[in-house]
Amino acid sequence: MESTGLDFDDVAAFDRKALLMNAAQRLDALHSHLGGKEEVPETPEGKLVRTLAEDEGKFARSPVVRKISDKEYLGRNLPVPIDVAELFQKYRYYFLEFPFELDPAAGWAFNKLEVRIDFNKDDPAPGEHPKVFQIFPDPKFQTLFEGNANLEVGVKANGEFDAKPGSVDLQAGQAAFKVGADLGATAGAKAGFVIGPFSYSIKRAVINHRGTGKEWARWEISGTRLNKGDDPRLMVIVQVPNDTRQVKVRGQMLATRYFSLANYRLTEAVKNLPDTLRRFFEGGTPFCPRPDDWDVTAQMELEEAGHHA
């Protein structure tokens, strides 16, 4: 995609629908020879632009939250690694998944997706905040994504994500969570638990992430077509200090498309638009819905209660 410098903050300032309708009207006018106050007829280019207002995408109502503790080891009489035991004394650990759905306008697809997740972003309280311990998907599993219809993902004894081809034939969107399963025969670890198997619909994508050890996680998925219902299964393990009682999460997505590959007449017509509008199209007609905010404290407390039952 052409580099235009548009980012989350730039796009959040747009009234996207109004911008698209303005552009469509201008494109109609470019091909009109009518004078006076007669209604300008809709052009094919204007119609294509109007359909982009139908782009949709949203996170699920709440993230999936699961507690990770030394119970996974002790319940199977497995020794807890010393470094892991020390971490469990200082912090609480949770697996979080952020399900969402993209629904690009009919006839279009997205080609790049950026997602950012922040923990206790607006909390001015002093002290240590929740931090991202591990992030998934990880580029090291790239070849697995390309060659398998489903994956079995797990968390190893050292707290790292691991993955292998799934042995269960899944329907799209189906998933399972098996706490206490032995990963020795699944994801190649000596101890831990399994997340999944699940259907993985994003193939041949270039996946990058950052944020390990930070109060936030960022994903960038590109080099593929993101169609209706595609979900790249964004997951993290978050490390929460024992004295942190409230955990709030903010999620935001930014989806763009390779506009240079769109209808030739449309790409040519857009060159005649004012700079702000032209820059919007050359930037991939970015779709950036309002951020979602979740307070996951209650879910974490329920998980804690279940582990101490």
Between CA 221 and CA 70 the distance in angstroms is 33
Q: Containing domain of residue 125, as a range?
A: 8-308
If one compares 22 and 33, the residue with the highest pLDDT of the two is: 22
Residue 191: per-residue pLDDT? 40
Check: CB of residue 63 under 8 Å from CB of residue 98.
yes
Mean pLDDT estimate for the chain: 78
- pLDDT band with cut points at 50, 70 and 90 for residue 176: very low
Query: Is 127 among the domain residues?
Result: yes
Query: Is 191 among the domain residues?
Result: yes
Q: Per residue in 28-49, pLDDT tens? A: 998 765 445 567 789 999 999 9
Q: Is the pLDDT assigned to residue 309 strictly greater than 80? A: no
Query: Is 3 among the domain residues?
Result: no
Q: Is the pLDDT assigned to residue 172 strictly greater than 60? A: no
Between CA 104 and CA 110 the distance in angstroms is 7
Query: Is 132 among the domain residues?
Result: yes
Strand, coil or helix: 1:
coil
Q: Per residue in 67-118, pLDDT tens? A: 887 655 444 444 444 455 666 778 898 989 998 888 999 989 999 999 999 9
Segment 298-309 shows an average pLDDT of: 81
If one compares 249 and 226, the residue with the highest pLDDT of the two is: 249
Query: Is 1 among the domain residues?
Result: no
Q: Per residue in 201-240, pLDDT tens? A: 566 678 899 999 999 999 998 888 888 877 778 889 899 9
Query: Is 2 among the domain residues?
Result: no
DSSP per residue, 62-79: S-EEEEE-THHHHTTTPP
Query: Is 156 among the domain residues?
Result: yes
If one compares 8 and 298, the residue with the highest pLDDT of the two is: 298
Q: Is the pLDDT assigned to residue 63 strictly greater than 90? A: yes
Task: Report the predicted TM-score, pTM, of the whole model to 2 decimal places.
Answer: 0.79
Q: Is the pLDDT assigned to residue 183 strictly greater than 90? A: no
Burial of 13 (0-12, 13-18, 19+ CB in 10 A): exposed
Residue 299: per-residue pLDDT? 94
Number of domains in the chain: 1
Q: Residue 124: CB partners within 8 Å, gap ≥ 6?
A: none
Element (H, E) at 30: helix 16-30
